[in-house]
Amino acid sequence: MAKKSGNKSDTELKLQLERSREDLARRLERVREEVDVPRKIRRSVEREPVPWIIGAIAVGLLITAVISRKKKKIYVDTKAARASKSALLEAGFLLGALRVVAGLLKPVILNFVEKKLGSYTSRPRSGSKSF
């Protein structure tokens, strides 16, 4: 059995134990509130949104400034640039000529296809196939 400590009765000890538990629960709740950083930030943003918006803009500008300072050096070989320009010019010329030729040949090709397909539709069927 439990030993009695001093002059305190069982009811007094139970009351003291209950008070200690309540005190411990309150302290634990305070610690949880102190440690809950996302909740603190959310409350701060709700209470005072303007400083947070200004801070976000400042951070964005700072990041943009840091990124834009790093300029990339690009070296261009002039001989290769001339060759690629002439190749692009030739390809453009060929595509333009092909487009003109396709436009001129379109009626001829359509007439040929109509004649071929027309001959299939004008032939009567040789007997009916029934199941």
Domain membership flag for residue 117 = yes
Which of 35, 17, 14, 36 has its CA nearest to residue 25?
A: 17
Q: Are residues 61 and 36 in the same domain?
A: yes
Q: How confident is the model at residue 1 (pLDDT cuts 50, 70, 90)?
A: very low
Please, are residues 52 and 45 in contact by the beta-carbon 8 Å criterion?
Answer: yes
User: Is a pLDDT exceeding 80 seen at residue 33?
Assistant: yes
- Does residue 29 surpass a pLDDT of 80? yes
Summarize the confidence of residues 74-83 as an average pLDDT.
73
**Residue 97 sits in the same domain as residue 47:** no
Q: Are residues 61 and 113 in the same domain?
A: no
Residue 19 has pLDDT above 70, yes or no: yes
pLDDT of 129 higher than 70? no
Both 61 and 84 in one domain: the answer is no
Mean pLDDT calculated for residue range 109-130: 71
User: What span, in angstroms and rounded, lies between the C-alpha atoms of 59 and 84?
Assistant: 43
The residue out of 70, 87, 111 marking a domain boundary is 70
Provide the residue range defining the domain that includes 59. 10-70
* End-of-domain residue from the set 48, 70, 92: 70
Does 1 map to a domain?
no
Q: Phi then psi for 99, rounded to 5 degrees?
A: -65, -40
Asked if 44 and 52 touch (Cβ cutoff 8 Å), the reply is yes
Find tokens 């007439």 and name the residue.
Answer: 111
Q: Are residues 58 and 101 in the same domain?
A: no
Inside any domain, residue 127: no
Give the predicted TM-score (pTM) of the model.
Answer: 0.35
The answer to whether residue 46 sits within a structural domain is yes
Is 110 domain-assigned?
Answer: yes
Q: Torsion over CA of 37, 40, 44 and 46, rounded to 10 degrees?
A: 110
**Do 5 and 13 meet the contact criterion of CB atoms below 8 Å apart?**
yes
Domain count, the chain: 2
* Distance from C-alpha of 95 to C-alpha of 88, rounded to nearest angstrom: 10
